[in-house]
Chains A and B, each alone.
Chain A
Amino acid sequence: MAFLSDLDQITRAAAGDPSAVAWLVDRYSPGVLGLATRMLGDRMEAEDVTQETFLRAWKALPGWEPRAKFSTWLHRVALNLCYDVLRRRRESLPGELPDMEDPGLTPHEHLLQTERVRAIEAAIAALPERQAAALTLCALQGHSQAEAAEIMETSEEALESLLARARRSLKATLAERSVA
């Protein structure tokens, strides 16, 4: 049903229907921003990735063919953009962890963002990128194994292996920092 609904909204959005555009943004931007935020550990960069993801989506809409679910395609674009950011970051600042200070947050969000949350975000962002992606998609965003594997363009077996390694690394890191 959601698939058909997506198609309908995509067709209307491609024709410039503002309500369909708003529908797609409201439905998918939280997931895309969440994925980018967890992957990058930086809200500003995550917002840039989200904007670029949607720009690419708008360009793709007129010729959209439903070979994959729109959400899968969108998350895949976002994930690849995150990989690009991480690659550039590694090239310019090898070994440096992302700055977890977040000037883009509201006072309420600052209140929620405790030291514990920051430590977990840092630990996730410090994971190898494909492990971080697998963990974010499955454990934090609730995607099924099939969806996450499709987004990451990998097999479900490989995804499971990434998840297991991610959880082991995260557990060890958090134990070191006495977060868990």
Chain B
Amino acid sequence: MKPSLISDARILELIGAYGADLAAFPEAERAGAARRIAEVPAVFAAALEEARLLDDVLGRMPDVTVSPALREALVSSAPKAKTAPVRSGTGLRRFLPGWLPAGAVASLAMGLLIGVNVSMPATVATASADDEADAVMYAALGFGDYSLMDESTQ
């Protein structure tokens, strides 16, 4: 049999810390300890028995269960998914920003407002331009200077 590399004192320390269940021992020392305990069981019998009593006491402790109310509280405290605004548009409209309709309405309102405000000067300007166009047209038709013709009529 391969000699155990772990000391008896170390095995007693392990039993004192982890109890009688060798599966709870650190993995690196588990096999060596098991081998040594099997070689000389009497050396460890008392320590194992004492540890087993405490293991039994701890093993009988009931599991702590999470109540439905606590579970609900934990779940509801989590961040919620950010819901994207519903867009009815199709095709390229899906890629347009959501504020676009509001922007369009604002632009229309601005346009109407500006249009009303500049409509009067624009009318005057247009009338003046019409007179000049008439003068050019009369001159081209051989009626001479529009201003002279205008004077002769007076």
Query: Which residues of A pack against B, CB within 8 Å?
Result: 13-18, 21-22, 25-26, 29-30, 33-34, 37-38, 46-47, 50-51, 54-55, 58, 61-62, 104, 106, 109, 112-113, 116-117, 120-121, 135, 138-140, 145, 156, 160-161, 163-164, 167-168, 170-171, 174, 179-180
Contacts and interface: CB of A to CB of B under 8 A. Distances in A.
A104 B62 contact: no
B58 A145 contact: no
A33 B17 contact: no
Interface residues of B, number: 33
Which 6 A-B pairs have CB atoms at the shortest separation, nearest pair first? Answer: A16-B81, A34-B64, A164-B17, A21-B78, A163-B17, A160-B17
Contacts of B17: 160-161, 163-164, 167
A171 B119 CA distance: 99
Contacts of A113: 62
A55 B64 contact: no
A21 B75 CA distance: 6
A58 B64 contact: no
B16 A37 contact: no
Interface in B91-111: none
A168 B74 contact: no
Interface stretch (B1-9, B65-73, B136-144, B146-154): B65-73
A62 B81 CA distance: 12
B58 A139 contact: yes
A29 B73 contact: no
Contacts of B13: 160, 164
Interface string B46-61: 0000110111011011
